[in-house]
Chains A and B, each alone.
Chain A
Amino acid sequence: MNELHRLWQLFQPYRTWMLFGTLAAILTLLANVTLIAAAGWFLTAMAAAGVAGVSMNYFTPAALIRGSAMIRTAGRYSERLVNHEATFRLIASLRVWFYQHLEPLAPARLQQYHSGDLLSRIRADIDALDSFYVRVLVPVAVANVSILLFTIFLLFYHPLLALSGLTFLALAGVGLPIWSQARGLAPGRRIAEDEGALRAAVIDGIQGMAELTLYGAAERQAQRIDSLSRRLIADQTRLASDHGLTQAAVGLCASLSLWVLLWIAIPLVDDGRLMPPQLAMLALFTLASFEAVAPLPQAFQMLGRTLAAAHRLFDIVDTEPAVAEPDTPSPRPERFDIEFTDLSFAYPNAPRPALSGIRLQVPQGTRAAVIGATGSGKSTLFNLLLRFWAPDSGRIRIGGHDILDFHGDDLRRHIAVVSQHTHLFDATIRENLLLADPEASQDAIEAACRVAQIHDFIAELPESYDTWVGETGVRLSGGQGRRIAVARALLKDAPILLLDEPTEGLDAATERDLMQALDKLMAGRTVLLITHRPAGLDWVDQVLVLDQGRELARGDVSVIPTAMQAALLPRHTEVEPT
């Protein structure tokens, strides 16, 4: 139950809220029990007095009934308000907490997770934690206090009454929760997993619908979603059935408690050791007292789901980022030359290293190209330079400082990446561009879009820069979307420019215009290009030809033809996560 302890710690800042919530809940419960018990006593006493023809003070009990009715109503209202307000504040803060732990893991550590699964964690799993507070912590505290008070109260009348009351309350408030918790553990875990799987399948089904439909796989996807949905519902049904059973059992405990009370108390009335109105009062009191334990079985049943959710959240939170942030402030480089020395790196579980013994020096303001076939290690080089992964051995230096001494964000502030693989967000074109620089002026935006050869197109749109991009906006073709991504990278005015096949998938005329525009932009910056096309590289100062993570050649462009000849020799493997 390590998760329980950690959950409790997460809830610590809300202790005061919880205390007030619990107090209000106890007050409400006591008022309710008082109301019902007093009403039973009052009625019986009035009848007894009426029969006996004696007078009695009926103002005090009447006031007690009125008072507890009001406290009950007000108490319940404020208890719910306080506890829910606190829970939702907590939930909102947990989402931020989770995101803060998720963010450093991207992209290296998140590869194995489907976005639907992560979405399920930040949405459904965090939501599931609310039941820990509202349904577990507060009710358990309330039950503990009230069971104690109820037992003391019964002790005033007869020890046997107290013993029987305590027994049934414990049965309903401890026994049933233990049972339902054990029963809820496995389905709860499955539900948490299946909810994630369902979201993932739905996302695949929606975002990949074109391919699924075309390849006749839509039906299979529909069946997959349907079977996940039904499996989820089957587990929920199992829990609902158990819930029904425990509800019935709590009711039965209350009834049996009343029943045993009658067996004990009726002789006491006969003996005159108990007043008749007290019998009626105790009978109704017993029934009402079970409200204190009624929510517990379900709460503990849901603990399975809650713990599974907590486990899934802590799973992410506990993952170490692929690259640890340094404790010291980032260096402030004055020059921006890049130096790779004896760089080697292998992805986890990869059969062979992605890079081995790579050396390259790119002086400030010069341009270098890294050429290689798919899987030769080019993208890995960028991943290391961007500090998404840490090299196994060797170093990367920028302006003489090891990049591991930089905080990730500080390092990436100096680097702009022009690639077609970046994500366009579900927002307007302008908002997507401003991501690079929230302060950018309209002029700066337009200038970047001109370089990326996309300004004319945007200007022609009815809503211009305020056009909604959408996820795969109908207004944007693939090539247009990519150019917006390129413009965004250009808007980030950084001294180091990484170009990752910036013109792939563009038509020749656009490609030429873009390269000419980029040429101007590259002036004075340190540029590193990765490409699988060895042609048309006259504009670079040096090239590095990679093959299977090893250097094949290094020098000016004249080394390319020989190197490419060598690369044509049979090769075997390529493993290169992007």
Chain B
Amino acid sequence: MKISIKDVEYVALLSRLELTDEEKVEQLRELNKILDSMEVLNKVDTSGVEPLAHVLPIHNVLREDELRATLPKEKVLQNAPEEDEGMFKVPKIV
């Protein structure tokens, strides 16, 4: 399966990424390379094989409903590009 520049633009929109034309071409090439690898996997006959939900043969890893220490506020906001009133300030949404 090959994708087009249109698909790249669509995926970029979903991720709210603005790409230059050059970057779009670059992404197109990389994504298609990944999809080519997937094509190899698609050749494997999986009829009669249960879909895999997890790579390890484990299940039911659960924790008790107990409180644990939260992160100090300075640390929480440490990497925030902008903050206001103890909250993360983000640009216009809609």
A, B bound: no
| Contacts from B to A (Cβ < 8 Å) | none
